[in-house]
Amino acid sequence: MTDSGDARVAVYIDFDNIVISRYDQVHGRHQFQRDRSRDADGTEFGDRLAEAAVDVGAVIDFASSYGTLVLTRAYADWSARVNAEYRGQLVGRAVDLVQLFPAAAYGKNGADIRLAVDTVEDMFRLPDLTHVVIVAGDSDYIALAQRCKRLGRYVVGIGVAGSTSRSLAAACDELVTYDSLPGVTAAASAETSDGAGGSARRSRRRRQGRRDDTAGGARTDGSDESASTDDADEASTATAVDDPVHDPGESEDDQVRATQLFERALRIGHQRDDEDWLHSSSVKLQMKRMDPSFSEKALGYRSFSEFVKSRDDVADLDDSTNTQLVRLHEH
């Protein structure tokens, strides 16, 4: 396996596959299609989608542990409601959204074929690619994984437990389940999460607000309710897409985000290397891969070791030698 310091990684996400698989995992096998066709106004379906929200940030962060992400693509019909709420999160992580129009997106193998063609083309166009990460559990990707390996790439598969083909696992160099990704469980329950869970919760609150307004009668100002709601939704989407990089150290939230970033980088390092202690330099490098705006100095610390010491409830630091080592604190 190529050393992560020189590795260049391409990530391909079959978005419908991962969202539907997660939904079926949470609510029951084949439940996605039943719920979507049964819920005419989409209210209950939207709530159940929120409960099964996918933390795409956890997927991208884990992929970055293999090396530098040179391209990340997600394939779906982005006009569909089930995918639209993720657009802000994906664009914010510099993911290239590949539009599959309804005829292709819901047709047989629409995303599979487009993703496979792009992957093979990229391997010849970018010969310095060392790793290919396929985010899907469909057995249709077996041939693609085998071709990538024959062309000398290290192939990582990421799929939802219970919906990932065993044959695909055999075709990859490494297969990881979504459930085992560092930060997935915590991100799903944290109200401060910036991931799809947060977007889904905001959407759920907007839907609840609409129902409350409808039950309370007409708006007192006489304005058009649907237009107001649409404007609010558009403003929310614009904010999510255009959210600027925060100036670190400006607020307590920046410190919280830095702590969450640090903890996730540690978990990824322990899972990848299976080592009790990690080099602090490699942990910082992983944090920079996950969030290029991270800077311990902007947060008010003179060095990374000082930043680590301030998080002694999260990590232990061994600076007794020239090589500083760090590990996740055992509670």
How confident is the model at residue 275, as a pLDDT?
83
Q: Please, what is the angle between helix 56-64 and helix 252-273, to 10°?
A: 60
Q: Give phi and psi for 322, each to the nearest 5.
A: -65, -30
CA 210 to each of CA 41, 103, 225, 226: distance values in angstroms, whole numbers, following the listed order: 13, 32, 9, 9
How confident is the model at residue 62, as a pLDDT?
94
Task: Pick the closest to residue 54 from 146, 136, 113, 140 (CA basis).
Answer: 136
How confident is the model at residue 2, as a pLDDT?
44
How confident is the model at residue 36, as a pLDDT?
83
Domain ranges of the chain: 8-186, 252-328
CATH topology of domain 8-186: Rossmann fold (3.40.50)
CATH topology of domain 252-328: Nucleotidyltransferase; domain 5 (3.30.420)
How confident is the model at residue 103, as a pLDDT?
59
How confident is the model at residue 111, as a pLDDT?
84
pTM to 2 decimals?
0.69
How confident is the model at residue 21, as a pLDDT?
93
Q: Give phi and psi for 68, each to the nearest 5.
A: -75, 130
How confident is the model at residue 273, as a pLDDT?
80
d(Cα 182, Cα 167) in Å, to the nearest integer?
A: 25
Task: Pick the closest to residue 8 from 142, 125, 162, 158 (CA basis).
Answer: 125
How confident is the model at residue 197, as a pLDDT?
43
Provide the pairing of β-strand 68-76 with 8-14: parallel
Per DSSP, the three-state class of 183 is: coil
Low-confidence ranges of the chain (pLDDT < 50): 1-2, 104-107, 186-250
Find the DSSP H helices in 39-183.
43-51, 56-64, 81-84, 87-92, 102-105, 110-125, 142-150, 166-171
